[in-house]
Structure 1
Amino acid sequence: MGTAVSADGTKIAYEREGTGPAVILVDAAGGYRDFNSLRPLADLIAKEGFTTYTYDRRGRGLSTDNQPYAVEREIEDLAAVIDAAGGQASVYGWSSGALLVMRAAASGLPITRLAVFEPPYGGSDEHDDEVREQLEALVAEGKRGAAVDLFHQVIGVPEEIMAQMDPIKPMLEKIAHTYPYDWTIAGTTSPEHITAVPTPTLVLDSTATGKDMHDGVEQVAKLIPNAVHKRLEGEWHGVPNEVLAPELASFYKG
């Protein structure tokens, strides 16, 4: 366990596993170390000869937060974890976390190799402020469950998955105030951000994800100058860790 201090004073809680070159894993919307955690994936990668780092993004788990929010603050958070990892690292990002790490690489962070899984990219830099404002208003009114529902509806989570969410909603409600952060990342990531990624990049998606997501992932793979796209056997917006970990380890080994 450790704490990295971001440029604005936010404390970012992280944990480390294994020995070898550093690999940092960055969560999606709703994910943090005590819920829907990347720890099992990190453990499998560590067994391949890496030191893995998982962390709570700002406002989640044991990490603190400072306002006002900006995507640049989360890039600085990742920079602080990279510094704690020795000054450079390979990085993995999932969903909106994938957009964040691409933005970080484009900004010049010392990321040696980058892997992203299903970044929710729509090909536009238009930002729907109305949804963000609705999310913020619901949280301010104490209606965290409604904020969780709204976020998952607007990002296109299938109804059958929404119907299974009731048992886990309390864990999601804890970090509902961070959903506007991920909405901001997705809504402000432009083609220019993606084409500016200088890092060798592995772009991944699942065979069972829908056409809209596949189309966006393929666009990302075409926009990044030094990218390879690979589609893995999996479920909607996910692939078993036992399938994903060897792919990532092989890519990070170069």
Structure 2
Amino acid sequence: MRFFRCFLIIEILFLVFVGLACFPISAHATSYPLQAKYPEVMIYKAHTTQKVIALSFDDGPDQRFTPLILNILNKYDVKATFFLLGTRVQTYPDVAKRIYNEGHVIGNHTYWHPQLTKTGVNNMIWEIEKNEKKILSITNVKTNLFRAPYGALNEQLVKQLDVMGYRGAGWSVDSEDWKSLSSVKIKQNILNNIHPGAIILMHSAGHWTQDLTGTVLALNELIPYLKEEGYTFVTIPELWSIEHGNTNK
């Protein structure tokens, strides 16, 4: 066990070194104009020196990968934020209930997963409200947290989120796991860009052709490693409180 642990640490350090040599680190240097202009509505990261990070999972629930991810989060006592699709909450109500019952935060990810910058404000309202009713009927949770499919938002949509009483959440670290990447590549994508206050984008479900095995394997190694590096895992609402000095907005 000790040998395996040492080998894992060496492997991860190697991935970080290779990534630093080959790719620019831009996650914490990138500007987020919607958060800058609408800080009371949008968050992509928290501006903090505290080593806190938030895991987030899109497109669930399902019966293939979501339960495996929940098992790992439970194993390491980590709470995450799950942005659920209404159509999948309808299909897999027991998994949606499990997410809530195990202490994770549930967010709204629309009902059908459209690109909202193409379909417009009225469609966003319909998608959010339909999903909100479905999540509430299954989990008894009334969420006010929203993530747009593909992260696609504009100022008009953000203003409407505010009118509806929602906060929008993006991300500052993209695992790119939706590409069915290997666990090695997913770990590299995250570790090369990790920073205090990060929101990490991963997926707990996807199209039937997508294989998220790499996500499950990477998560099982990343969580203990990042904990050893001094990081604390929080939910996006907790990160919001850090960003806004523990306000309730």
Q: TM-score, normalised by structure 1?
A: 0.29
Q: Which structure has greater strand proportion?
A: 1
